[in-house]
Chains A and B, each alone.
Chain A
Amino acid sequence: MPTLSFSSAWSITAAVNPPRAVYLDFPLGHTAGKPEAPDTNRAILDAALDAFTNMRTPGAIVRLPFEWADDDAWKDSVMRPKASGGAHADDRVERWSTPQYQTDEDRQRVAAAPDCPTCVFLE
């Protein structure tokens, strides 16, 4: 089956080597566009689909012509170990093994109806 992979991490995508990929030079967490920007996101998808239809080389990654901001300042702070080092250099949150709900209401809805037929557990 044909696939089209989006990417905001060129080196990782190049290592994983999907058949066809489009690269969007945005901060992680924005692989498919900007928040509340439907016109921009429509243009991004259209550019991605155009690129997809023209790709003939397995493993191709095509850079899409969109910029996150007027300058590249955001690239400075991404995953840079802080000078202090130690645990503060790791800005990921702790890896809890219980469900991490966005809202309490979500948690309460599951407590009231714990069977989730659309949740698929593989182990």
Chain B
Amino acid sequence: MPSTRPPVDYIERTRAQYDALGYPPYQWVQEPAPPPFVPLEKPLSECSVGLIGSGGIYVSGQIAFHYKDDVSYRIVDTSTPTRELRATHFAYDLTDARRDPNVVFPLDTLRDAVARGRLGELSRRAYAFMGGIYSSRKVRNLLAPALADRVQEDEVDLAILVPV
């Protein structure tokens, strides 16, 4: 039977959880509308595509993320075999991400889309960081601009963002 219930409201559930724990309310980022909107210049089959994921993915051999407002990121070569990808994060169930990192960092899925001609190419570099950064100031002032600069330098036509 198809889903009949509305999406889980994580903002409301976080509020309830924090209340139950006696914490002050979490301050969610609220960006004004409308956001900037850049049209796509060419067909997807001719686009170079970048990937940025916040699921806590790193490559074995890289330094793993820590769990206290880690605003670092990892450069992931997009030819990396999936079996070398790892997942670490304090706030979601990692079972499936460790079994198959594509659930939060869809490298195989994107490589397949390129092989099928659905996308032009995958940028040489993807970027991974670990969300659950409670300082939105650090994300806004440090991490987000650094990643935006990266994908600009990579000259991708489209950046795919996969948050967790």
Contact = CB atoms under 8 A, between A and B. Distances in A.
B7 A17 contact: no
Given A32-B106, A42-B113, A103-B86, 5 more contacts: A45-B110, A75-B5, A93-B91, A107-B64, A119-B75
B46 to A, nearest CB: 13
Nearest to B35: A19
B39 interface: yes
B66 to A, nearest CB: 5
A65 B8 CA distance: 16
A23 B16 contact: no
B108 A38 contact: yes
Contacts of A18: 35, 161
B60 A105 contact: yes
A108 to B, nearest CB: 10
Contacts of A110: 61-64
Contact of A41 (B77, B92, B106, B159): B106
Interface residues of A, number: 83
Interface string A79-97: 1110001110110111111
Interface of A: 1-13, 15-20, 23, 25, 27-38, 41-42, 44-46, 49, 52-53, 58-59, 67-68, 70-72, 75, 78-81, 85-87, 89-90, 92-103, 105-107, 109-110, 113, 116, 118-123
Given A29-B97, A110-B62, A116-B63, A11 B33 contact: no
Contact of B100 (A2, A5, A35, A45): A35
A49 B118 contact: yes
Size class of the B contact interface (CB-based, 8 Å) = 35 or more
A97 B60 contact: no
Contacts of B29: 15-16
Nearest to B110: A45
Contacts of B33: 17, 58-59
18 contacts: A1-B159, A17-B30, A17-B35, A30-B104, A35-B99, A36-B100, A42-B112, A46-B118, A79-B13, A79-B17, A81-B20, A89-B20, A96-B68, A97-B67, A106-B58, A106-B60, A116-B61, A122-B72
Given A25-B3, A30-B103, A90-B17, A75 B8 contact: yes
Contacts of A44: 109
A17 B104 CA distance: 20
A1 to B, nearest CB: 6
Contacts of A121: 72
